Amino acid sequence: MKTPTYLIISILLFIQSNRVCQAQVKVLNDISYLEAANTENDSLQRLNLTLPGQVDKPPLLIWIGGGAWSYTDRNVEMDLARQFATRGIAVASIGHRLSSALWRDSTHNLGAEHPDHIEDVAMAFKFLHNHAMEYGYDAGKIFIGGFSSGAHLASLLVMDRKYLDKYALSKDLIRGIIPIAGMYDVPHYHETLANSQRPELATLHVESVFGRTNEQHIEASPTRYVDHLSTPTLLISERDSYTYTRIFEDRIREAGFREIEILHVQALGHSALWKDLSFNPDSRYRELIIGFINAHT
């Protein structure tokens, strides 16, 4: 059976169009977001910027990858960044200082502790806002999102005002938050792990990231600041970590905030959702994120 000529032409045009889109994407790696006068320039405190071609002043998605605050790698998020850039959205994949992870690797003792991670995110935001004209994206259309630990940091930046206040920046500069598959209440997280099959994680993981006291845990929790939430939000969860998202969702509803869209991806687990967003060319969940960004620009 012969394949119709029009079908062959359509396939070739699709392949060519896809290659053109990929070629139009511009990637700038390893940009330091620290002030020049800062002599402690850690290689982790950098970002990769992916820019769509032939788009005048695109919106910018500041993206914080997952990694339990200990393994976040901005370079691992580049497939996801390209997926968005081919749809006209610039993406800054940002790195931050990392905490120890002795629960996983006896040699991984890097030592960063809250608020180091979120302070890095705030510095990255300041840099990206101030350099919008240089790189060509729209400073008035900045969104922030993240996966897993990155979702916690994205939410905390917007909801706990002190991190942006330090740089005389307003949370109103952020058009939307997109936290995905995150943890938003540290005391609950600590308690859950303490009562799990691996109770040592409460100490080796949670306390190494956020400190040992309940007061420190509360201070680091987005749930503490739900009354401050006024930014449009797309909250996405998956089946493995839904219990953490549910607490956040309930607190937001109790606070009366209504400008929020909530999606529970019950069909996918934690890693499967990240892979879908990053590698699936037809990801319906990525399309929802794109739609959210377009609706708020």
Mind listing the pLDDT tens digit for each residue in 239-248?
999 999 999 9
Please check whether residue 120 lies inside any domain of the structure. yes
Give the CATH number for residue 145: 3.40.50.1820
Task: Give the mean pLDDT of the chain.
Answer: 91
Please check whether residue 173 lies inside any domain of the structure. yes
pTM of the model: 0.91
Please check whether residue 184 lies inside any domain of the structure. yes
Percent of the chain with pLDDT over 70: 90
Three-state SS for the chain is: CCCCHHHHHHHHHHHHHHHHHHHHCEEEEEEECCCCCCCCCCCCCEEEEEECCCCCCCCEEEEECCCCCCCCCHHHHHHHHHHHHCCCCEEEEECCCCCCCCCCCCCCCCCCCCCHHHHHHHHHHHHHHHCHHHHCCCCCCEEEEEECHHHHHHHHHHHCCHHHHCCCCCHHHEEEEEEECCCCCHHHHHHHHHCCCCCCHHHHHHHHHHCCCHHHHHHCCHHHHHHHCCCCEEEEEECCCHHHHHHHHHHHHHHCCCCEEEEEECCCCHHHHHHHHHHCCCCHHHHHHHHHHHHCC
pLDDT value at position 41? 61
Q: Please tell me the least confidently modeled range out of 3-7, 55-59, 186-190, 285-289.
A: 3-7
160 pLDDT more than 70: yes
pLDDT value at position 193? 97
Percent of the chain with pLDDT over 90: 85
192 pLDDT more than 60: yes
Count of structural domains, the chain: 1
37 pLDDT more than 80: no
Please check whether residue 12 lies inside any domain of the structure. no
Please check whether residue 232 lies inside any domain of the structure. yes
pLDDT value at position 38? 58
Please check whether residue 1 lies inside any domain of the structure. no
100-123: pLDDT as tens digits: 888 888 887 768 999 999 999 999
Please check whether residue 3 lies inside any domain of the structure. no
Please check whether residue 215 lies inside any domain of the structure. yes
Domain extent at residue 123: 26-295
